[in-house]
Amino acid sequence: MPRPTSPGSRTAGEDDGEHEGENEDSSVRRLRGVLATAKHFIGDGGTAEGRDQGVNPSPEAILREVHGQGYFGALGAGAQTVMISFNSWTNEQLGIREGKLHGSRYLITDVLKGRWVSTGSPCPTGTGSAR
């Protein structure tokens, strides 16, 4: 899990490294009684040139096989919400023109809710819906 940027800014479940190296499903199981959120859906770690809130040009298979693995584990272990990322998903050569993920009906509704999740809810990231 990412480290907090200042004292007192922790999200429930973040720790000081005691559980470093855990995978997503074991982290969720450890948080019994807390609403676990899998964040940031999807592909934020694969943006072009590593840009924060950038464009991920990966084919859908790479999104699923590489960037989706943590979500499968977290959702399978009981995470009830998925926070949507600020990045975009676009690759003109492959005909992918989804743009910002917050506005991607295909990835949020068809893929995440329709294929990957049977319960739970996606949630926007802060002001992401307005971007």
Does 121 fall in a domain?
yes
The pTM for the full model equals 0.66
Residues 44-76: pLDDT tens digits? 999 999 999 999 999 999 999 999 998 888 888
Does 27 fall in a domain?
no
Q: Which residue has the tokens 């009830």?
A: 80
Model confidence at 8: pLDDT above 50: no
Model confidence at 7: pLDDT above 60: no
Overall number of domains in the chain: 1
Least confident stretch, 56-60, 91-95, 114-118 = 114-118
Q: Mean of the pLDDT values across residues 23-39?
A: 71
Does 20 fall in a domain?
no
- HSE at residue 102, side-chain half, CA atoms within 13 A, is 14
Computed over every residue of the chain, the mean pLDDT equals: 76
Inter-residue contact 56 to 88 (CB < 8 Å): yes
Query: How many of the other CB atoms lie within 10 Å of CB of 124?
Result: 15
Give the domain range for residue 70: 36-130
Total count of residues recorded for the chain:
131
CA dihedral angle for residue 87, residue 92, residue 94, residue 97, rounded to 10 degrees = 50
Catalogue the E-assigned strands of the chain: 37-41, 55-56, 81-84, 88-91, 96-100, 121-123
